[in-house]
Chain A
Amino acid sequence: QVQLRESGPGLVKPSETLSLTCNVSGYSISTGSYWGWNRLSPGKGLEWIGGFYHGGTALYNPSLKARVTMSADTSKNHFSLKLKSVTAADTAVYFCARWIVFGSGSNWFDSWGPGTLVTVSS
């Protein structure tokens, strides 16, 4: 059974870079699945940040694309999110998840990490 858990600083200063890691157990991230990040905030609700297929192209929400980078370390079976130039609007609970994607427009997140609150404040 796949399990995910986010880790990283809970407080980030405005204009700095938010960095989170998602540790995955029970499933290899290099084995045929997409992996993604979502966030939940009172102002915007649930929002897709982006995702990737190991060895493939990453997909990013166009509204965040200029500030987002995702990467993976298969030796540690974890993947990471970096969001630069953060503002208070980036304050949210961030979730990593296994993302099932089919080319026909079907997609769902079938396993989620518990989430981690990141607050942007000086």
Chain B
Amino acid sequence: QSVLTQPPSASGTPGQRVTISCSASSSDIGRNTVTWYQQFPRTAPKLLIYSNKERPSGVPDRFSGSKSDTSASLTISGLQSEDEAVYYCSAWDDGLNGPVFGGGTQLTVL
């Protein structure tokens, strides 16, 4: 089973650009697309980015995703206080025959 590794925490001040990384232990990310979810306390995860860089309707364009080989990144430009949340990456795991999630990154807006 592939493991997706994220930093447990990240922080930034309002207006800054913050990047959260997601690194795969196998080549699954290279072959498959990456999804990012945003979760606020006591709520369900919300789809933020799919197919590496696509944003669902309603997601601000200051959220962007990218992928390269076995790693992916979520970048938040013009950080806002309401962006404080936990962010998870996910990708299809061929061995699992299903999705695997990263451990999540707690983003703090200072």
Contacts and interface: CB of A to CB of B under 8 A. Distances in A.
Interface in A79-110: 95, 97, 100, 104-110
Nearest to B28: A105
Given A61-B98, A62-B96, A108-B50, A45 B33 contact: no
A95 B43 CA distance: 10
Q: How large is the interface on A (under 10, 10 to 19, 20 to 34, 35 or more residues)?
A: 20 to 34
Given A110-B56, A112-B44, A105 B104 contact: no
Q: How large is the interface on B (under 10, 10 to 19, 20 to 34, 35 or more residues)?
A: 20 to 34
Given A105-B32, A106-B33, A114-B44, A51 B98 contact: yes
Dominant secondary structure of chain A at its interface with chain B: strand
A73 interface: no
Given A45-B101, A110-B50, 17 more contacts: A45-B102, A45-B103, A47-B101, A48-B98, A48-B99, A60-B98, A61-B98, A100-B50, A105-B31, A105-B32, A105-B92, A106-B51, A106-B92, A108-B35, A109-B37, A109-B45, A109-B47
